[in-house]
Amino acid sequence: MGLSWFGLSCGFVALFPLLFCSSGSEVVTIDVQAAKDLLKSGYGYVDVRTVEEYKKGHVDAEKILNIPYLFNTPEGRVKNPQFLQEVSSACNKEDLLVVGCQSGVRSLSATTDLLTAGFKHANNMGGGYHAWVEHHFPVTKPEDAGKNNQEVDQRKKAEDEL
């Protein structure tokens, strides 16, 4: 049995808010190669995954923020009620942003909210961190942070000896 017109129209109505925001801006989803290029050109990266996900590894970018869009609770995932306020306190509405999550789903919702709130240059990274890793693009993991701290300690020690 085929899909009814009603079923198709309900599906379109459900997806419509994800494609267009009340600000009139259309959500632009870019692939990870385009995201990598934008990050190299000066865009900031807003990682909307949970803090726990972020700490396991994240996109290696010069300008990066971790502001969770959802929180894990005993009742399930709930939207971070302070998400827009937290992004607004760290970014200007004119800032150039790439928004990413684990797979591209949360970041699509987060990008929609940002555009609706007046952020003019927020792009959703399709495929998320998972696709970034699959493309073997640079990541920062906890062991990398430890190496960086050791390098800093070694440099400080060398400077002290001079």
Q: Is residue 109 part of a domain?
A: yes
DSSP per residue, 12-55: HHHHHHHHB-TTSPBPEEE-HHHHHHHHHTT-EEEE-S-HHHHH
pLDDT at 135 over 60: yes
Q: Is residue 53 part of a domain?
A: yes
Domain span holding position 22: 18-153
**Dist CA 47 CA 64 (whole Å):** 7
**Is-contact 115 124, C-beta < 8 A?**
no
Q: Is residue 105 part of a domain?
A: yes
Q: Is residue 88 part of a domain?
A: yes
Predicted TM-score of the model (pTM): 0.76
Q: Is residue 44 part of a domain?
A: yes
Query: So which residues are the catalytic ones?
Result: 101
Q: Is residue 82 part of a domain?
A: yes
Q: Is residue 162 part of a domain?
A: no
**What is the tally of structural domains in the chain?**
1
- Condensed to tens digits (0 to 9), the pLDDT of residues 55-93 reads 999 999 999 999 999 999 999 999 999 999 999 999 999
Domain harbouring 137, CATH code: 3.40.250.10
Q: Which helix (H) or strand (E) holds 121?
A: strand 121-125
